[in-house]
Amino acid sequence: MRNRKQEETLQFFTGFVFSLVLTSSTFTTGQIRLAGRVSTRCSGRVEVFYSHSWGTVCDDEWDITDANVVCRQLDCGPAISVVGSALFGQGVGKIWLDDVRCSGNENSLTSCGHNGYEKHNCRHDEDAGVVCSADFPKPSISTGSAKVTWGQQARITCSVSATTFSETFILQKTSGSFRLTQSSVSSSATFNIPKVTLDHDGEFKCQYEKMISSQTFTSPFSNSVRLRVNLPKPSISTGSAEVTWGQQVSITCSVAASPLSGTFILQQTSGSFRLTQSSVSSSATFNIPKVTLDHDGEFKCQYEKMMSSQTFTSPFSNSVRLRVSLERPIISLTSPDGGLVWGPGGAEVTKGYGLSFTCSINPRYPQGDFSLIFSNSNITETRPAVNNSASFNFPAAEFEHQGNYSCVYEVTMATQRFSSDEAEPISLIIKSSSLLLVSSVSSGILLLVLLVSLAVCLGCRRKLCSKQPIPSDQNQMTFQQLNTQDLENDCNDYENIDAFHSVKELEMDEESTSDDDYEEAEPHLRQIIVGVKNYASSEQTFEEDEESTDEDVYVNVDATWKNNVVQAKKCVNEYQ
C-alpha cells in the first residue's frame, strides 16, 4: 500500500511539472491534455486550453463517445473507460466546458456541442477524465501446444507491454464458465492446467485489470487461442501376426486412463474394412472368425467419445501387420504302369515306368496355380489348378528323376501374390528293371564259369601230364601196345590168347600136350594181365586224386583214354 501511494505521489508531481512546462509554452485554443495524479499521456483528467489558460471539463453528460473523441485527438486509441468525479484529482483554475455532447466523428473536443466556454454549474470535484486504450494495450496469448492429450498438462501464457503498476491477468474460455485469475508484478502470467479433460477443449482468451485511484480498469481481450484436447493414443495387439486362411484371429485395442463409455474403431490401413465396438472399459477385442486373403495387411485403431454433442477422436494407434497364408498343399505319387513300391526310404519306381505327381489344396480356396519343386534342380514346373488340383506326369522314369519332390500353391489377388508353404516332400528312388538285372547277373555268372572252366582245364591238363601212370620195366612193352593200338587190335590180341588157351585145354584133355608147352604160353599171358592190373591200380589212384579237383573236367579231358582202359578191363575179364 505504501508503494502504491509513493507511485501516485510521484506521478502527481510529474504531471504537475509537465503542466508547468506546457503552460509556459505556446498553446492554441482548443488544445487538450490529460493531467492529474497517476495520469499518463493517455489516461487522466481532461483539460482544455482556452484564452491563454488551461481549464477542466465538467462530467455532466460525459460519456464514452466524448471520451473516444478525446482519445482519438490525443492519438491514444479508442477509449476504454469514462471517469468522472475528479477520479484523477481536482483541477485548479477555470472550468471551461460543461454538458459536452459529441457525436463521435469530431476531430477535437471543442468541436463537439457544449454550453459555451466557462458556462457551467459545476465544481472541480466533478472534473471529467478518460482512460484510453493506449495505456491498456491488448494482451497477447500463447500456448505451449495447441494439441494436448487427455490427462496431460497444458500451459497458457498472457502477456502485455511493460507497465509501471501491478496488474491482474484473467484467462477464460470463450464458451463455458472456465475462468482463472493470476496477479502479476510483471508484464505476463502463465496459467497451468495440470490435467486437461475434454471440458478444456475449445478457445481461450485473456485480459488484465489494474487499479487507478481505487477504480479497476480492464484491458481489451486478447485474440483467442484454440486448445485441442485429444484422447490418448490407443495401443493395438494381436494374438498371432501370422494366420492361415480360414482361421480365427483376435485384435485388441486399448487406451491408458481412458474415459468410460467410449467407442473403439478397428480399420485396415488400405481397403474398406472397418469394425466398431462400444466399451465401458479401457479396451476392446475384435474377433474375425474366418480370415481370408482380404484381411492380409496392416490394421490400426482409434477411440471416440461423445461429450456435449461433440465427438472427440483419439489419434490412430501404431499399425500391426497381419499376414494371411495359404495352408500347405498335399502331394501324392502314382504309377499308371504299376511300377511304384513304397519302401522305408520313400517311393521306389522302376526305371522306364511312368509316374505322376498330384498336388491338391482345400476346395474353399480361390483359383490359383500349383508349382512342382524338384530338390535336385532349380527348375520348377507350374500348372493352373483344375478342381483345386494339378497333375505332373513323367512318361518314363529315369535315374535323373531321383530326388525329393514338393509343391506350392499360389494365388494372385489385387496385384498381390500369396504363396503357401511347401508340401511335405516325397522322396523318389529310381530302381533298375528286374529283367535287366537278371540278364546282367546271368551274363556275369556265365562269363565267370567260362573263365573258371578255362583255368581248371589248363590246370588239369598240367596235372594229367604230371600224373600219367608209367608201367614197370617188365611190362612196359605190353602196356605201350595196349595204350597205342586200336581197340579192335587189342581185342584181337585177346581173342588170339583165348584161342591159344582153348587149344591148350583141348590138348591137356587129350593128354596130347605137355606141361612145358603150357608153361611157355603162360608167362606171356601173365605179363599182359599184370600190366593191365598195374594200370588199373594206377588208374584208381588217379581218379581219387582227380575227385579233389574237378571230376567232371577230368572226364571231359581224357574220356577217350579212359574208354580204352575200360575196354581193356573187359577183355581181361572175358579171358579170365
What CATH number does the domain containing 274 carry? 2.60.40.10
CA distance 340 to 348: 6
420: domain range?
A: 330-432
Cell numbers 490427462: residue: 151
Q: Is residue 439 part of a domain?
A: no
Confidence class for position 466, pLDDT limits 50, 70, 90: low
Predicted pLDDT of residue 185: 82
Query: Among residues 284, 308, 325, which one ends one of the domains?
Result: 325
pLDDT of residue 439 exceeding 90: no
Q: Residue 479 region, left (φ>0) first, then alpha (ψ -120 to 50), else beta?
A: alpha
Residue 440 has pLDDT above 90, yes or no: no
Residues 127 and 15 in one domain: yes
Q: Within this chain, do residues 410 and 285 fall inside the same structural domain, yes or no? A: no
Residue 532 lies in a domain: yes
Q: Which of 229, 253, 268 is the last residue of a domain?
A: 229
Task: Specify the number of domains making up the chain.
Answer: 5
Who's near 279: CB < 8 A, 6+ residues apart? 261, 262, 263, 264
Please name the residues in contact with 154: beta carbons below 8 A apart, sequence gap of 6 or more.
Answer: 143, 144, 145, 148, 192, 193, 196, 200, 227
Q: Does residue 234 contact residue 317 with C-beta atoms inside 8 Å?
A: yes
Q: Is the pLDDT of residue 555 over 50?
A: no
Q: CB count, 10 Å around CB of 154?
A: 21
Residue 438 in domain = no
CB atoms within 10 A of CB 407: 30
Q: Crossing angle for the helix pair 559-575 and 487-509, nearest 10 degrees?
A: 10
Q: Which helix (H) or strand (E) holds 17?
A: helix 2-23
Position 572 pLDDT exceeds 90: no
Clarify whether residues 80 and 163 are in a common domain: no
Structure confidence at residue 488 as a pLDDT band (50, 70, 90): very low
Considering the domain boundaries, does residue 452 fall inside one?
Answer: no
- Clarify whether residues 366 and 290 are in a common domain: no
Angle at Cα 307 formed by Cα 303 and Cα 309, nearest 5°? 115
Distance CA 208, CA 165 (A): 12
- Whether 522 has a pLDDT exceeding 50, the answer reads no
Is residue 166 classed as helix, strand or coil in its secondary structure? coil
C-alpha cell at 478: 605190353
pLDDT, position 333: 95
Three-state DSSP class for 131? strand
Phi/psi zone of residue 164: left (φ > 0), alpha (ψ -120 to 50 degrees), beta? alpha
Distance CA 290, CA 312 (A): 32
Which residue in this structure is represented by grid cell 475449445? 202
pLDDT of residue 513: 37
Q: Are 201 and 312 in contact (CB under 8 A)?
A: yes
User: From its phi and psi, is residue 519 left (phi > 0), alpha (psi between -120 and 50) or beta?
Assistant: alpha
- Is the residue at 451 inside a domain? no
Query: Residue 104 — very low, low, confident or very high, per pLDDT cuts 50/70/90?
Result: confident
Q: What b/e string do you get for 329-354 counting C-beta neighbours within 10 Å, with b at 16 or more?
A: bebebebeeebbeeeeebbbbbbebb
Q: For 296-325, what is each residue's pLDDT tens digit?
A: 899 999 999 887 778 888 889 999 999 988
Query: 171: pLDDT confidence band, cut at 50, 70 and 90?
Result: very high
**Residue 128 sits in the same domain as residue 28:** yes
- Residues 6 or more apart in contact with residue 265 via CB below 8 angstroms: 274, 275, 276, 301, 302, 303, 304
DSSP assignment string, 96-107: EE-S-B--S--S
Residues 15 and 72 in one domain: yes
Select from 280, 299, 325 the last residue of a domain: 325
Pair (320, 360) in one structural domain: no
Q: Is position 453 within any domain?
A: no
Same domain? For 563 and 483 the reply is: yes
Helices and strands per DSSP (H, E), number in the chain: 8, 34
Please classify residue 76 by burial: count the beta carbons closer than 10 Å to its beta carbon, then call 0-12 exposed, 13-18 middle and 19+ buried. Answer: buried
What CATH number has the domain bearing residue 121?
3.10.250.10
Same domain as 154, residue 223 = yes
Residue 442 lies in a domain: no
Rounded-to-integer distance, Cα 141 and Cα 146, Å? 12
3-class DSSP state of 75: coil
Residue with cell 498381390: 416
Same domain? For 315 and 199 the reply is: no
Asked, for residue 261, whether it belongs to a domain, the answer is yes
Mean of all residue pLDDT scores within the chain: 77
Q: Are residues 93 and 111 in the same domain?
A: yes
Residues 257 and 185 in one domain: no
